[in-house]
Amino acid sequence: MKRYLILNCDDFGQSKAANAAIMHLLEEGKVSSATIMPPAPAFQEAAAWARSKGEGKVGLHLTLTSEFSALRWRSLTGRKSLHDDTGYMHKTVLEFEKKAQTQDVRAEIAAQFQAVRDAGLNITHVDNHMGSLYGIETGRSHLPYVLWQCSIRRLPFRLFRKVDPNDTMLAAVPGIDEILAKLTALADTLGVGMPDYLLSHPFHVEHGETYDTFKQSLIHKIYNLPEGVCETYIHPGVDDAEMRRLIPSWEKRVWEYRLALDEDFAYAMRDAGVILTDYRYVRENLRRSRIKSAFGLLKRLTKK
């Protein structure tokens, strides 16, 4: 078994700072892909660039929340339950899970798929902003519907089969193994490809953290990647006055942009024998037998 890494840039289309960083990293081949946010204010700029470049490494970042006080966006559909009292999408996953009506969520998901199509983008995969569709806070998950939408489009989705024991953030989620077993069985039954592992890291600068300690923590993960296909995601942004004003976590985003360009990180990838890949590899190689998966899912659902 070889070790592969998908390095995805989330939040393409969020802001001009995000767009500038992601465009640069894609042009330089420093990252695997990016996922674009149709409701966000810089979506049209990101989509126009990707279309003009014939960029084949852009996925859909299904966006149902708008978390920053100074940078808000509305849904594409205008459905009331998708918005808070200010008229923007809910700030938190908890608010979204509690208040968004299922029919409105499904209408918005369909609208975001249509938006990338109307923009002339042939997306390569799908993921979800802030994990709002996973049911993390209340157990109210929209993933079965999302997986079905991916299935009919033959698109991979950001799920993962196993938790790397070295990933303390994911390993700490209660019942994560059983949750993953059910979701991956459903994804396999529907023919939706996914990576083997997801590698997480904090979005904000932690107490005492510096760029160098952050870089070393990611390099450590590179040398300890499990066999198979892993994804990790970053939210790169160029350091500008607008991003500093709008996004509280701006410094970590600047670090992530810098990391992807850092020769130490590139050397670690080469030295560890890690192969940078993308979701086309997942689509072509990581879909399981649908018949066997269907029997496995049925067994799980009927298990007492």
* pLDDT tens-digit series, residues 43-92: 999 999 999 998 889 999 999 999 999 999 999 999 999 999 999 999 99
pLDDT at 213 over 90: yes
CA distance 56 to 197: 23
pLDDT at 304 over 60: no
Task: Give the residue-averaged pLDDT of 113-142.
Answer: 96
pLDDT at 185 over 60: yes
For 192, the 3-state DSSP assignment is coil
Residue of higher predicted confidence among 128 and 162:
128
pLDDT at 231 over 60: yes
Cβ–Cβ < 8 Å for 121, 58: yes
Task: Give the residue-averaged pLDDT of 197-219.
Answer: 95
pLDDT band at 164 (very low <50, low <70, confident <90, very high): confident
pLDDT of residue 117: 97
CA distance 39 to 54: 22
The enclosing H or E element of 275 equals: strand 275-276
Cβ–Cβ < 8 Å for 268, 223: yes
pLDDT of residue 303: 65
Total H helices, total E strands in the chain: 13, 7
pLDDT band at 175 (very low <50, low <70, confident <90, very high): confident
| Domains of the chain with bracketed CATH | 3-302 (3.20.20.370)
